[in-house]
Amino acid sequence: MSQTNERSAEAPAPSTGRVVVGVDGSPHSLRALDRAADEAVRRGAELEVLCGGAPPRRSVVPETDSDTERIRRAGQEVADAAAERARKRVPGLTVTPAGVREPAVDALVRASRTADLTVVGTRGRGGFRGLLLGSVGLRLAAHAAGPLMVVRGEVPEPGTARVGDTVVGLKWAGATEPVEFAFQSARRDGSTVWVVHSWNYPTLPGVSLKLSPKEPSEETKRAEKFLAEAVEPFRQRYGDVEVHTAQHQGAAAENLLRLSDGAERIVLGVRREHRRLGLQVGPVVNAVLQHAACSVVLVPVP
């Protein structure tokens, strides 16, 4: 499953959309910036570079107008420097820097409502050393209104890298949004699409041992039928994209993490869950966000 294609030289096309990336000057955010610039040029989209800022929430000193302006200017300086980096990486790309006087999460959630893609790094400057995914990424995973890319791993220079597979995890019947995103991405960069579905054998009541018959079971046949029916419309519409399907009996997260090694991206559908602490993503999405070896894209599913 490691088939790759050479990345072709890319030049900016007329802008037809908008990619938004959150930056704070940290190495993680600069890698996200580079990936966002690459995504923008593939889409023929404009790039918006956003840096948010806010005073300490528990400050006992009242915030003044000069404090507000100083915070905004500091954010604008970070955004301006990041925008210049993106222009050097992709000459001719339309880049708009924006320093805003609101928390980064709030600004990015608002921007995600109209962006084709929102991009963030795994952690920012305020992240704890042992934290694999920062609070901004986690909150965006739960609240972003459109596709969200969390950039993991290194981002190579344009024209020097090979393109890995695009892996899309399929869980629900009729949830075509992540599959559509995966095929569109593969068409842009020449990657191969792998549509994967994981499932488990049922357990006996009161017994933890799972039933694993040697012969192909009804569950296996149902999984094969489910994948074939889900992918067939995309095979017909994206005839120029190489596509494979694979079913996996076992834990979905473990399988996706294994496939992430050497992949270009993993695409997952998300249905936000209302829990005691507010909107959250499920355990599989959370595990992949925390541990994948490649970038992860979350696509909202109604």
Per-chain mean pLDDT for the chain: 83
Boundary residue ending a domain (151, 180, 201): 151
Angle at 291 between CA 286 and CA 293, to 5 degrees: 130
Residue 253 belongs to domain with CATH number:
3.40.50.620
pLDDT of residue 208: 52
CA of residue 286 relative to chain centroid, distance: 12
86 within domain boundaries:
yes
> pTM for the whole thing?
0.84
Asked whether residue 213 is assigned to any structural domain, the reply reads yes
38-42, 66-70, 173-177, 267-271: range with lowest mean pLDDT: 66-70
Q: Is 158 within the bounds of a domain?
A: no
| Distance in angstroms (rounded) separating the CA atoms of residues 124 and 78 | 13
What's the pLDDT band for 38 if we cut at 50, 70, 90?
very high
* 3-class SS of residue 181: helix
**C-alpha–C-alpha distance, residues 290 and 130, integer Å:** 11
Domain boundary pick from 120, 151, 182: 151
Helix (H) or strand (E) holding 267: strand 265-270
For 193, the domain range is 164-300
Q: Which of 188, 152, 171 is nearest to 226 (CA)?
A: 171
Residue 158: predicted pLDDT: 75
Q: Which is more confident, 69 or 124?
A: 69
Q: Is residue 147 part of a domain?
A: yes
138 and 229 part of one domain: no
**Does residue 199 fall inside a structural domain?**
yes
